[in-house]
Each structure stands twice: as C-alpha cells, then as structure tokens.
C-alpha cells in the first residue's frame, strides 16, 4: 500500500490544519489574537518550568504543542456524516468516542475524528468534534419535514473533493499535487457563507425550535465554528484574555487546577455576530446569526474507567450544588466548590498509577538499560520502578468530555436555552450513518500503555510479565 509517490496521511493532515488555521484567522480576527496570547503563555511556561519542557521533549510532545488545535462542525444528514468520515480518513483521522448531548438539551450526537497512533498524534493531533443533528428530536412534524427537505437539497462537498477521496480509497494514497488540491477542495466545506439558503421567516421558525437547528439547516455547509489552540496554562490565558479585548465565559469547564493535570480543561468566548443575507424577493433581507466562537484548552492525563467514574461523580456533586447563571453569577462559588470536591482525587503521579486511576507510558531508564546488560533482572514492575530502572509518564487525554462540551455549546447558544429531550441515546443510528464503528477511547489508551510496558520490559531484557503486576 505504501507507494513512494504518495504523501503520508500525516502530511495531508498537517497541510489541512495549517490551511484551516489561516482561513479561520482571516474569518475570525480574534482567533489570531488568541493564538498569539497562547503562544506567549506557552513560551513563558516552558521558560519558567524546565522540568515540563524536558518531559514534553522526552515524550516527543514538545513539537506538537504549537500546532495543536481542535475544531468543531455540525452536520445535518447521515450521508454528510458518511462522506465526512471518508474525507477525514484521507488525513489519517478516525472516529473515536460517542457523545450523546441530547441529555444536556442539545439535539445532536457526536464523535471525535482524530489520529489514533502515537507517532501520528505527535506529528499533529488535529481533532474535530463532529456532531450530527437529530431531527427526530424536533417535536413539530411539519418543521421536521421542512428541515429534512432543505437539507436534502444541499451538497456540502465539492465534486473534486469527492473525486479525490475516491482516488485515495482506490489507490491507497495521494500524490503531493493531488494532496494539495484535496486540501484546498476540502477546505471549501468548512468555509463560512454569509448567504443563508432559507428565508428570514424560515430561519426564525428553525431558530425558535432550537438555535442549533437554525445553525445547521440554514446554510450551505457546516462552517467550522471554532478552532481551539492548546495551552500549557489555561488559568493564565483566561486571566489575560481581557487585556487583549476578549471576554471569556465565566468558568473553566472540566477539572480544577491541579499539580497533576487530568483530562481536559476548556473555556470559550463569543466571537461574532455575523451579518446574514436571507433568501427573499428583495435584496434588503439581512439579519444576523451567531455561530462562531473561540476556545482554549489544556490537556492532562487520560483516566482509566475507574478514574473517569471518580471524576464524573465529583463533578456531578459540584454541579448539583452550584449552578452558574447565564451572566456568570456564582462562578466563584463554583470554582471553590470544584477545588474542594476534587481534594478526593489523588494528585500525585505515583498515587494515580498505584490506584489505577490514569494511563501511563512506561520506558526503560538509562540505568535500567545498563542493568539489563549485566542481566538477572526480575520482571516486577513495582520493584523496577522503585529501583529507577523503569519509569512512567502520563499519556495525554486526546478526546472530549460530554459535560464540558454541553457547557461550551450552551454558552455559545445563550445559556438561557435549556431544553430537555427524552434521553434516548442512539449510538447504533450514529454508527449506521457513519458507516463504521466508533472506536473506544479507553481501549486505545489501554493498548498504548500495554505496548509501552512490553517495549520497556523488552529493553530491560525481560518479557512475559504477569498482567497483575502492572498496577
């Protein structure tokens, strides 16, 4: 399959990420300001914390920090999702995780398209939170049928993009020239269009059913609605955003600030109220729509199922006690409750590992490799660690969090719009539309951990370690 004339999917993903970032900078100027602020803060963190820098370097993660982004799109039909999966495959991205947001009053279900193997992640971990509208959750049957008919008329992919996807699937790759053309054709799908495909009156009815429905149904394509850089200190960026004219949402989603970062912390800001030309007889049919926003994220260690259950419990107890209002009322109470509750979550790497709460990457140390030459080591993980012959480092969480995602959706749709849908999660329907199974993120992390341990033990001249001695 690997043909020398083909460029790698990693290269195509990097080209695409760069092109998308450039496009978004011109479309949403505040995004450019945010990128500069995040780059400044990241440079400061690395300058003042040499250990952080050394660790990122050792893990091969340093180079990815400043190219790291995630984006989000919202699709309208099963066939759009199906083709989107094929499009992302050209860039080495696969569907990981199923997120049901209907429980939070957002009528979509979603997945993350991202690279899955470690080498690809370290080159460029670009991910796209991709949602599919669930029209079956619209109560009004007439409006539902109308939305379906509107969506059925649009084609969000250029003909050439589809040709190039087919060429990739048939030949197993793309040449450099075809890859460049693919990137510019694929970009068209994510571009903003100021002209709606519906009248102002239809837009209003869709909007009244749910703002998100209007956003998905009224336009020519699934405009990228944000691109999120990764920061090494989200509290510093949040604090400094107003200095650069950006007003962030009241609270940071996810876990509190800790010594050992876990999962994902995120905060967003409203970016734009855009002028829209609606379809109408006369030219003066203009209005506005807010779709696009900015966001930053900080990533920590991936949690095991046990760690995740503890995280979900602690977070639910905080959210049960303090509800942050639309205007940010109670934000301080929320932050202090969050810090208080999360005291129950161990905050040292040793404890996180010993209690099987997080995933780690094992490696043989230099001392270990020396000792291996002399021979006679025992395959006892805890003992090897204690003797400094084996070491472990956190595996980065590469996915999203449904409660946080709902918070991001809500803050950009207007926090007042809380609606509850019957909580019928429908993963099967999602996978049918996708045309593939959604991969289980926990299995991916467990696989990375197990492979790193096997390789580390092999480096120490050991193999066949019993599974129970890992934790």
Interface residue list for Ni ion (CB under 5 A): 228, 295
* Closest CB 409 distance from ligand OOG, rounded Å: 5
* Closest CB 404 distance from Ni ion, rounded Å: 9
* Euclidean distance between CA atoms 352 and 303, whole angstroms: 9
The site map against ligand OOG for 218-257 (x = CB under 6 A) is: -------x--------------------------------
Q: Is 400 in the site for ligand OOG (CB under 6 A)?
A: yes
* Closest CB 99 distance from ligand OOG, rounded Å: 8
Q: For residues 169-202, b (16+ Cβ closer than 10 Å) or e, as one string?
A: eeeebbeeebbebbbebbbebbebeeebbbebeb
The site map against ligand OOG for 344-383 (x = CB under 6 A) is: ----------------------------------------
Distances (CA, A) of 432 to 91, 107, 134, 403: 22, 18, 14, 25
Pick 303 or 456: Cβ nearer ligand OOG:
303
* Closest CB 293 distance from ligand OOG, rounded Å: 8
Stretch in the footprint of ligand OOG (CB under 6 A) among 22-30, 75-83, 404-412, 426-434: 404-412
Among 21, 83, 111, 131, which residue interacts with ligand OOG (rule: CB under 6 A)? 131
* Closest CB 108 distance from ligand OOG, rounded Å: 8
Q: Is 266 in the site for ligand OOG (CB under 6 A)?
A: yes
* Closest CB 110 distance from ligand OOG, rounded Å: 7
Q: In which residue are the tokens 């010993």 written?
A: 354
* Euclidean distance between CA atoms 49 and 42, whole angstroms: 10
24: partner contacted, choices Ni ion, ligand OOG, none (Cβ within 5-8 A by kind): none
Query: Measured between alpha carbons, how far apart are the two ends of the chain, in Å?
Result: 39
Question: Which residue number is nearest to Ni ion in terms of Cβ?
Answer: 295
SS3 235: helix
Among 405, 438, 457, 460, which residue interacts with ligand OOG (rule: CB under 6 A)? 405
**CA pseudo-torsion sign 149, 150, 153, 154:** negative
State the DSSP code for 3: -
Pick 129 or 203: Cβ nearer ligand OOG:
129
392: partner contacted, choices Ni ion, ligand OOG, none (Cβ within 5-8 A by kind): none
Pick 31 or 400: Cβ nearer ligand OOG:
400
Contacts of 397 (CB under 8 A, 6+ apart): 262, 263, 264, 299, 300, 301, 302, 303
* Euclidean distance between CA atoms 128 and 349, whole angstroms: 29
* Euclidean distance between CA atoms 446 and 193, whole angstroms: 42
409: partner contacted, choices Ni ion, ligand OOG, none (Cβ within 5-8 A by kind): ligand OOG
Residue 62's Cα: distance from chain center in Å? 19
* Euclidean distance between CA atoms 280 and 151, whole angstroms: 18
Question: Which residue number is nearest to ligand OOG in terms of Cβ?
Answer: 405
Residues lying near ligand OOG in the complex (CB under 6 A):
72, 74, 129, 131, 225, 266, 295, 400, 404-405, 408-409
């Amino acid at each position: 399959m690997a043909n020398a004339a083909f460029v790698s999917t990693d290269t195509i993903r990097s080209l695409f990420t760069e092109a998308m970032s450039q496009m978004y900078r011109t479309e949403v100027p505040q995004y450019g300001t945010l990128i500069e602020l995040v780059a400044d803060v990241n440079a400061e963190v690395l300058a003042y914390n040499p250990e952080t820098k050394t660790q990122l370097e050792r893990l091969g993660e340093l180079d990815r920090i400043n190219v790291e982004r995630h984006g989000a799109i919202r699709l309208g039909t099963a066939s759009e999702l199906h083709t989107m999966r094929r499009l992302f495959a050209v860039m080495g991205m696969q569907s990981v995780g199923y997120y049901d947001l209907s429980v939070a009053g957002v009528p979509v279900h979603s997945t993350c398209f991202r690279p899955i193997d470690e080498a690809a992640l370290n080159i460029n971990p670009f991910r796209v939170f991709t949602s599919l509208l669930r029209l079956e959750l619209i109560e009004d049957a007439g409006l539902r049928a109308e939305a379906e008919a509107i969506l059925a008329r649009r084609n969000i992919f250029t003909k050439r993009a589809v040709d190039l996807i087919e060429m990739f699937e048939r030949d197993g790759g793309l040449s450099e020239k075809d890859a460049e053309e693919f990137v510019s054709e694929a970009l068209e799908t994510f571009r903003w269009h100021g002209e709606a495909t519906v009248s102002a009156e239809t837009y209003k009815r869709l909007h009244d059913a749910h703002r998100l429905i209007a956003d998905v149904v009224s336009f020519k394509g699934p405009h990228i609605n944000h691109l999120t850089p990764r920061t090494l200190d989200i509290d510093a960026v949040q604090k400094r955003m107003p200095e650069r004219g950006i007003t962030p949402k009241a609270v940071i989603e996810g876990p509190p600030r800790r010594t050992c970062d876990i999962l994902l912390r995120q905060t967003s800001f409203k970016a734009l109220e855009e002028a829209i030309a609606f379809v109408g007889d006369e030219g003066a049919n203009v209005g506005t729509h807010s779709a696009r926003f900015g966001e930053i994220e900080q990533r920590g260690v991936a949690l095991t199922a046990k760690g995740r259950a503890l995280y979900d419990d602690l977070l639910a107890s905080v959210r049960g006690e303090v509800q942050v209002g639309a205007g940010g009322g109670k934000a301080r109470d929320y932050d202090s409750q969050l810090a208080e509750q999360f005291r129950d979550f161990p905050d040292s790497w040793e404890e996180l590992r010993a209690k099987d709460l997080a995933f780690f990457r094992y490696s043989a140390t230099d001392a270990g490799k020396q000792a291996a030459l002399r021979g006679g080591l025992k395959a006892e993980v805890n003992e090897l660690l204690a003797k400094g012959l084996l070491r472990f480092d956190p595996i980065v969480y590469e996915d999203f969090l449904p409660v946080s995602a709902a918070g991001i959706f809500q803050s950009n749709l207007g926090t007042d719009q809380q609606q509850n849908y019957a909580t019928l999660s429908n993963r099967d329907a999602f996978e049918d539309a996708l045309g593939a199974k959604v991969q289980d993120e926990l299995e991916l992390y467990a696989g990375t951990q197990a492979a790193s341990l096997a390789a580390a033990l092999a480096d120490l001249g050991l193999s066949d370690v019993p599974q129970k001695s890992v934790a």
